[in-house]
Amino acid sequence: MPFRWNPELGPEDVTPEAMFQERRRFLRAAAVATAGAVLGWDPDAVQAEGGLAGVRKGAVTLDEKLTPVREVTSYGNFYELGTGKEDPAKLADRLVTYPWSVRIDGEVEQPGVVSLEDLLKPHPLEERVYRMRCVEGWSMVIPWIGFPLGDLLKRFVPTPKGRYVAFETLHDPQRLPGQAREVLRWPYREGLRLDEAMHPLTILAVGLYDRVLPNQNGVPLRLVVPWKYGFKSIKSIVRISLTEQQPVTSWNQHAPDEYGFFANVNPEVPHPRWEQRQERRIGEWLRRDTLPFNGYGEQVAGLYAGMDLTRFF
């Protein structure tokens, strides 16, 4: 059986031995290389509910109330598993994620196909608490576990022609039943400028709330770019390519008047169907004002100096 994580499971529950052994097998395969643990994941210290050991606290944190893990793992967008907000959690058990590999290609000096464990091996994990804002008007505060994307890209040595980074999700309607419907042109694709990808706030996440990412949240590897709308944070990545030209991205291709390539959180850019000046934090009744760049303007506004952000939205 594939690895699964049950958001209903609490520390007080007794985990069946078979399930516990399966989780250990997955984590060992994903996190251990030959003689020892990598990524700070010690398989013998992994809690029965899928917890991760050895994760360091990141320098980036927020003094804001975290969104409950039940909400984070049961409400969201992952169209590859269905278009309803609850569909991803309901259909996530179809997504078998081991073994997993990622192709790194394009404008890099050392392209190749790398297993998940070899791709992650040199990168210590840390917790980053980020605001996440959906274009539809809702938001969350999530403690992600991951590492800077820039550290990974440096390993493969971008060439001078590499100006953008393109990402691609797994395309497999058997494991991702939402892809059986022509909602978008599959596989899902996203992209960043290279300077955005190299920014220290941009991370590849492998967990949240001290746990391995559940299937519905993009296991085993997803992008997190906290100053951009959530659709930029592509899930279940199988390919990362450096390109000279701006890559095609799925939502921009589907509705270019609604979804720009940059997708920076900007309350001054209206969406035809959703309010952008305010947002609803999941778990709260009252709406709050949306912050430019989702509140990360001090760190990232300089990336867009001189740009008309109502045109390049």
**Structural domain that includes position 196:** 55-300
Phi, psi of 306 (to 5 degrees): 85, -5
* Tens of pLDDT, residue by residue, the chain (313 residues): 333 334 444 444 333 333 333 344 344 434 333 222 333 333 333 333 456 767 888 766 788 999 999 999 999 999 999 999 999 999 999 899 989 999 999 999 999 999 999 999 999 999 999 999 999 999 999 999 999 999 999 999 999 999 999 999 999 999 999 999 999 999 999 999 999 999 999 999 999 998 999 999 999 999 999 999 999 999 999 999 999 999 999 999 999 999 999 999 999 998 989 989 999 999 999 999 999 999 999 999 999 999 999 999 9
**CATH code for the domain in which residue 274 is found:** 3.90.420.10
Asked, for residue 138, whether it belongs to a domain, the answer is yes
The reported pTM is 0.85
What was the pLDDT predicted at 57?
84
Alpha carbons 259 and 70: distance in angstroms, whole number? 29
The residue count for the chain:
313
Element (H, E) at 118: helix 116-120
3-state secondary structure of 45: coil
Alpha carbons 273 and 259: distance in angstroms, whole number? 12
What was the pLDDT predicted at 221?
97
Two structure tokens written together for 195: 């300077």
Alpha carbons 176 and 183: distance in angstroms, whole number? 13
Asked, for residue 7, whether it belongs to a domain, the answer is no
Asked, for residue 47, whether it belongs to a domain, the answer is no
CA atoms in the 13 A half-sphere facing the CB of 240: 33
Asked, for residue 165, whether it belongs to a domain, the answer is yes
Two structure tokens written together for 104: 């790194």
What was the pLDDT predicted at 275?
87
CA angle, 283 then 287 then 288, to 5°: 110
Asked, for residue 217, whether it belongs to a domain, the answer is yes
Asked, for residue 260, whether it belongs to a domain, the answer is yes
CB atoms within 10 A of CB 18: 9
**What are the residues facing 278 on neighbouring strands?**
289
Asked, for residue 155, whether it belongs to a domain, the answer is yes
Two structure tokens written together for 252: 């921009």
Number of independent structural domains in the chain: 1
